[in-house]
Amino acid sequence: MFPVPFPGHFNPMIQLAGIFHHRGFSVTILHTSHNFPDPSRHPHFTFRAISHKKEGEGEDPLSRSETSGLDLVSFIRVLKQKYAEPFRETLAAEVGGGETVCCLVSDAIWGRSTEDAAKEVGLRRVVLRTGGAASFRAFAAFPLLRDKGYFSMLVFLKWSPVTPESDW
């Protein structure tokens, strides 16, 4: 499992991990070094820290100096950039280790990098959207707000990734 390192994303992921554990699966949580949880609070799971620091570096630059003053969207962008390759390497090592890995459950915010990494090592991937009803309603309202002119197309394009699957 690979949650985004925010409490509102980690908690639903850990609840799902609990369901898997109750059904007899062993669960490994791959987590960024940023906001790394206390493994003693979740003794039924194995935690693996994914660090993006290079050997010889001191503090994790993502935890303090690089993120101070960033808005949420910029922070998420930096998080995704810094952890894409280390995640890929950690996942490959996990799959190549001793235990059988059934699938990857990743947070939707990680996007395509987790899909590509899972394909690379031959794993199925399930995406967990951790947003609640209010989040769903807000996303569902975007097309209506755009159609009514509250968002210009340029502003909307900055918020929405344009992919071949886009329907507009």
Query: Considering 31, 34, 52, 107, which one is annotated as catalytic?
Result: 107
Neighbouring-strand partners of residue 2: 106
Closest C-alpha to 155, from 165, 167, 163, 145:
145
Question: Taking a C-beta distance cutoff of 8 angstroms, is the pair 2, 30 a contact?
Answer: yes
* 82: amino acid identity, one letter: K
Residue 66 to residue 45: CA distance in whole angstroms: 30
**107 part of the active site:** yes
**Cβ atoms within 10 Å of 136's Cβ, excluding its own:** 11
Residue 49 to residue 32: CA distance in whole angstroms: 6
**52 part of the active site:** no
Query: Considering 9, 31, 34, 52, which one is annotated as catalytic?
Result: 9
Could you tell me the two tokens for 162? 């344009």
Closest C-alpha to 76, from 90, 94, 62:
62
Residue 78 to residue 5: CA distance in whole angstroms: 13
Which residues are annotated as catalytic? Answer: 9, 107
